[in-house]
Amino acid sequence: MRTMPVWLVTVCRLIVILLMPLVLTLSNVRLLLTHAFPVIEYNLPGFPDDPYGLSKGDRIKWANLSMDYLMGGQGIDFVRSFRFPAGVDAPPESCRFYADGDCNRFYNDREIQHMLDVKIVLWKVLNVWAIASVLTILAIAALYYFHEIAALRGALLGGAGITLVILVAIVTYLLVDFNDFFVQFHGVFFAAGTWTFLFTDSFIRLFPEKFWEDAFTVIGGGAVLEALAIGAWAWWGLK
């Protein structure tokens, strides 16, 4: 009969318990970084229109191109090449943030720098997600292979429980005071003053507050539902 050292059982259990919240949350982040999410979001009833004239089709186009930059290997010049249709410029309030005066560019200089900052942070986060996911899968597979079912069940229940505690608290926070949550979130990853924009800036026109409220709710709420499903399966399916 295959046996597993006690210390390795403990390590695998800790990996599953501690990394599950991270894996579930970041898996949902990755799922939202697709062309499907903007299409769904912009078609939701009550989603605010752009007061400066971008149509739903325009927003989907530019949002998807922006995601292509974030997830692809293109350099920042790819974003710099985004342009409004001929004869259309950014609103006057935003034009003062184009150092070269070329207000036909879709993103001004501040927005382009933020896109670069976001890509750097995002790739670091996705690397953490990939490593955490591989470790978690290997730990679960090892416990299952060596028939450490009680340990696997306890690890899954523990990971699901911690995920629920953390994510329910976060989702409650963002539902009660999304603005403060949004500020605190950005303060962790970006320097002060680098992520705030005018309502006339393309970044806000594409991604108004409603977009981020829904994104964070889906990420957090999805992780809660996933943790409940994993916990239920471990409780009733692994005995």
Give the tens place of pLDDT for each residue, 48-80.
999 999 999 999 999 999 999 999 999 999 999
| Cβ partners under 8 Å of residue 37, min gap 6 | 31, 215
Q: State the CB neighbour count (10 A cutoff) for residue 34.
A: 12
Map tokens 């062309």 to a residue: 35
- Does 180 have pLDDT greater than 80? yes
Separation between Cα atoms, residue 14 and residue 96, nearest integer Å = 53
Q: Which two tokens stand for residue 81?
A: 């090449």
Separation between Cα atoms, residue 201 and residue 198, nearest integer Å = 5
Residue 8's pLDDT is 96
Residue 237's pLDDT is 85
Q: What is the mean pLDDT of the chain?
A: 95
Separation between Cα atoms, residue 148 and residue 141, nearest integer Å = 10
Residue 2's pLDDT is 75
- Does 1 have pLDDT greater than 90? no
The phi-psi region of residue 87 (left if phi > 0; otherwise alpha if psi is between -120 and 50; otherwise beta) is left
Note the residue count of the chain: 239
The answer to whether the beta carbons of residues 145 and 9 sit under 8 Å apart is no
pLDDT digits (tens, 9 = 90+) for 72-126: 999 999 999 999 999 899 999 999 999 999 999 999 999 999 999 999 999 999 9
